[in-house]
Structure 1
């Protein structure tokens, strides 16, 4: 069975999603119920909800909304990665509240759509270092050219467990092997970083990609980080931009053909169980 470490639920009736205004294909309802039906058919047994970059004043409302979904009978949701704003002075108080919330397993501040200098601000870096000892992970969502920024954060806070989203967001459609390839190799040298093999179908040509299209990107990520430092995620509904959940899971199984059962288990469930104590 699969643990999906990257589900987004989008519900405009209860939350505001400013960033989705520029992405019409995603700026619509994407309910937990519609995800769960597909997920169960594909063998997903548990999932972590990933924040959807809601309006800053609604971050804790999103956490509460996910909590309501998690307590539904037979819910797949076993935890949440919450949005945060390390650049703000109130981060320390927010961190204290969330580290005491059993639903919250980690934090994320989306960086790939923000100015490069955000993660270099002194307060941002000071607050990232605060995450150490909280029991929470910190997801990094950066572009290939921003991977050195991720390296700097990993070096700054060696006791924080960072999770790199989406294989470092490679431009698969454009076949942009560099600087992604070398930057991933360098980032993987940081033992406090785990890579998430998640939703990369969204970065391939939606009309022509096949499993073999994705293979070099997935295999390089796994070869850099090793089987003990990779987890799997759907990135639903973003993965629908490249064929959808079932297509991504089918491709994943094709890419794992020939690996050992232990290696497959680590990627699809065991590493996530260990990292987030699921």
Structure 2
């Protein structure tokens, strides 16, 4: 089963400034596409979308331009952005002009809730529709109602919910997460990304630890509204790429080949307009 990874982070510290990495010493180094592909290709990962790495704001456009040409296996990029900024319209024009940019993301799980709830932020997200760009939602489980409010204000925008909505697996946070997930799953313009949850689990996690969350997500969104992502190298904080791929394949092994193809590549081709 071939895989398109919709959530690959690459770090080139000689090119760009990553302020947040100072607080993440375990991954505070270069992560090149060549190093990633050494592990990824034997796993069936044939292509990837680069996910912005929250570079300094002045580097956002340059990062996006660089990552769309870094390697033939990187077939597109989700760019960073600042919808809370009065200058967002100009930033969006610059990003939309870069061939290969398929969407944008503003990291919200570490931002004050108020940032994404302003009228300016919501109105700026609506601008994405005219450029045919997606918005990746990166929120905590407790912020899912805020994410739903953003979606409701922009019905013509395609949203992708990163990391299954970030359930607090380590602290048995299923019920609190499921309530918010049920609501946002009811929005037809939201696709969910099976990614990132290994870092939300205890260090001794196994496939069965993750299974209830992945299966519930698929139940709520359906096979036509899910995509897969590695979240590499962030996933290495609590696993490695191989272990995450193997866990996902085990969880969905009972599904049909057609359903698995939707998760691992077919939906990504449609949602991110890759085909």
Task: Please report the TM-score for the alignment, with normalisation by the length of structure 2.
Answer: 0.97
Using the alignment, how far apart are the partners of 1:45 and 1:126 within structure 2? Answer: 36
In structure 1, the residue matched to 2:233 is: 237
In structure 2, the residue matched to 1:119 is: 116
In structure 2, the residue matched to 1:254 is: 250
Using the alignment, how far apart are the partners of 2:11 and 2:23 within structure 1? Answer: 15
Using the alignment, how far apart are the partners of 2:197 and 2:43 within structure 1? Answer: 18
Give 3-state SS (helix, strand or coil) of 2:49's partner.
Answer: strand
- Within-5 A mapping of 1:1-278: 1-70=2-71, 75-206=72-203, 208-278=204-274
Give 3-state SS (helix, strand or coil) of 1:178's partner.
Answer: helix
Give 3-state SS (helix, strand or coil) of 2:188's partner.
Answer: coil
Deviation of 1:235 after TM superposition, in Å, equals 0.2
Give 3-state SS (helix, strand or coil) of 1:108's partner.
Answer: strand
* Matched-pair contact (CA < 8 Å) for 2:68–2:75: no
Using the alignment, how far apart are the partners of 1:188 and 1:222 within structure 2? Answer: 10
Give 3-state SS (helix, strand or coil) of 1:132's partner.
Answer: helix
Using the alignment, how far apart are the partners of 1:135 and 1:39 within structure 2? Answer: 29
Gap regions ≥5 residues in structure 2: none
Using the alignment, how far apart are the partners of 2:222 and 2:66 within structure 1? Answer: 35
Using the alignment, how far apart are the partners of 2:27 and 2:162 within structure 1? Answer: 19
Give 3-state SS (helix, strand or coil) of 1:107's partner.
Answer: strand
Report the number of matched residues.
273
Gap regions ≥5 residues in structure 1: none
Using the alignment, how far apart are the partners of 1:133 and 1:118 within structure 2? Answer: 23
Using the alignment, how far apart are the partners of 2:54 and 2:60 within structure 1? Answer: 8
Using the alignment, how far apart are the partners of 2:158 and 2:273 within structure 1? Answer: 13
* Matched-pair contact (CA < 8 Å) for 1:5–1:231: yes
Deviation of 1:65 after TM superposition, in Å, equals 2.1
Using the alignment, how far apart are the partners of 1:198 and 1:56 within structure 2? Answer: 25
* Matched-pair contact (CA < 8 Å) for 1:161–1:192: yes
Using the alignment, how far apart are the partners of 1:27 and 1:11 within structure 2? Answer: 10
Deviation of 1:199 after TM superposition, in Å, equals 2.3
